[in-house]
């Protein structure tokens, strides 16, 4: 059972629309100005978190715009007052002492509202074209485990010594220490065996990609049963990514879903190009292939498509199963984000009460 009320977050539009890139009702726009307005409005509407995915080049097509996650997150931290800012990081792109200092600084700017989302990369060109190289799946997780071990210690204000296969840290100390808590929260994504063990050992929240309730319940039960180290006394918490279509009626929601499927079909050449860049061992893409969907990170596979009452009831069922944070996508994003805040969040709160 969850230990808190349901929380709701949004995905920043770091690489434009989430379901279909050629939508006349939502022209492609991944600009800073749009994302700034989006996050500020989400905070005003009562959303609890924003997830800023990290890509240096657009994963759909390199010629398309791509928001830079960490500089944008520092700006979000300065501009907002309440919303949690969760920023993704691919360990190969930053040395851990540099990234820890950046995270520490954004934690101070935000007043204790910052979090890291550790992801271990799936998009080959982003690393290969930079000359960094794209290691085999389990090797990336071994690297990420060493990396987050160093970052965790530094964020706790500890004098850090670490000697491993990839890093040799000798008596490193970062100041000023975190005055708000022991360290920023660490979210971990990924569903492979190395990812599950990593989140049990090092994470505070496991981000699960959108998929049906029965599958999510099994994932939560399996990972929640794993032992936690003494440095992480609190139980592991769980978040879910989902694309939402909520309308007055189930029929209207299904009509919009069909419309988005038609629009997404226009992106097939780009999706095929993206598929060629994906690590075939990435479990999330194996899972995605099993269910038709729109949206990224599982999208509509979670089943949050229907009337306001239907969507609220399904969210309540996920929440009873252990999901505390729902990280949401919409299209058209701004309009549906407003509709969800006005019509679905109050219904979920009523069901929880």
Q: Look at residue 340 and tell me if it is in a domain.
A: yes
DSSP 6: -
Which residues 6+ apart lie within 8 Å of 3 measured at CB? Answer: 235, 237, 324
Q: Look at residue 2 and tell me if it is in a domain.
A: no
What are 277-331's pLDDT values in tens digits? 665 665 554 555 567 899 999 999 999 999 999 999 999 999 999 999 999 999 9
pTM of the model: 0.94
Q: Look at residue 307 and tell me if it is in a domain.
A: yes
The answer, yes or no, to whether residue 1 has pLDDT greater than 90, is no
Q: How many Cβ atoms from other residues are within 10 Å of residue 187's Cβ?
A: 25
CA distances from 207 to 76, 110, 195, 331, 348 (A): 22, 22, 11, 21, 20
| Structural domain boundaries enclosing 71 | 7-352
What are 317-348's pLDDT values in tens digits? 999 999 999 999 999 999 999 999 999 999 99
Which residues 6+ apart lie within 8 Å of 200 measured at CB? Answer: 223, 226, 227, 228, 236
Q: How many domains does the chain have?
A: 1
Q: Look at residue 239 and tell me if it is in a domain.
A: yes
Write the CATH number for 244: 3.20.20.30
Q: Look at residue 1 and tell me if it is in a domain.
A: no
What are 65-115's pLDDT values in tens digits? 999 999 999 999 999 999 999 999 999 999 999 999 999 999 999 999 999
The answer, yes or no, to whether residue 59 has pLDDT greater than 90, is no
What are 149-208's pLDDT values in tens digits? 999 999 999 999 999 999 999 999 999 999 999 999 999 999 999 999 999 999 999 999
Q: Look at residue 11 and tell me if it is in a domain.
A: yes
Q: Look at residue 41 and tell me if it is in a domain.
A: yes
Q: Look at residue 150 and tell me if it is in a domain.
A: yes
């Amino acid at each position: 059972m969850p230990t808190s009320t349901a929380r709701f977050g949004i995905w920043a539009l770091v690489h434009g629309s989430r379901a279909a890139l050629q939508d006349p009702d939502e022209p492609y726009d991944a600009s800073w100005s749009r994302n700034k307005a989006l996050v500020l409005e989400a905070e005003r509407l009562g959303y609890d978190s924003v997830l800023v995915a990290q890509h240096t080049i657009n994963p759909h097509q390199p010629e398309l715009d791509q928001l830079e996650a960490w500089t944008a997150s520092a700006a979000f931290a300065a501009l907002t007052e309440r919303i949690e800012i969760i920023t993704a990081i691919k360990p190969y792109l930053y040395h851990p002492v540099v990234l820890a200092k950046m995270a520490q600084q954004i934690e101070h700017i935000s007043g204790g509202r910052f979090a890291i989302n550790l992801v271990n990369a799936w998009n080959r060109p982003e690393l290969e074209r930079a000359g960094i190289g794209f290691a085999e799946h389990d090797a990336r997780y071994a690297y990420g485990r060493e990396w987050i071990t160093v970052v965790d210690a530094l964020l706790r204000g500890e004098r850090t010594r670490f000697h491993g296969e990839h890093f040799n840290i000798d008596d490193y100390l970062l100041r000023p220490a975190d005055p708000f808590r022991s360290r920023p929260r660490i979210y971990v994504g990924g569903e492979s065996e190395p990812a599950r063990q990593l989140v049990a050992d090092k994470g505070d929240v496991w981000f699960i990609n959108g998929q049906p309730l029965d599958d999510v319940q099994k994932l939560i039960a399996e990972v929640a049963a794993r032992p936690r180290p003494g440095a992480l006394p609190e139980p592991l918490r769980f978040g879910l990514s989902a694309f939402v279509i909520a309308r007055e009626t189930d029929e209207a929601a299904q009509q919009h879903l069909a419309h988005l499927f038609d629009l997404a079909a226009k992106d097939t050449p780009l999706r095929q190009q993206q598929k060629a860049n994906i690590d075939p061992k990435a479990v999330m893409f194996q899972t995605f292939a099993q269910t038709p969907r729109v949206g990224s990170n599982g999208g509509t596979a979670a089943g949050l498509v229907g009337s306001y009452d239907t969507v609220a009831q399904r969210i309540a069922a996920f929440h009873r199963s252990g999901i505390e944070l729902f990280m949401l996508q919409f299209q058209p994003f701004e309009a549906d984000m407003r509709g969800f805040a006005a019509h679905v969040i109050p219904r979920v709160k009523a069901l929880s009460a």
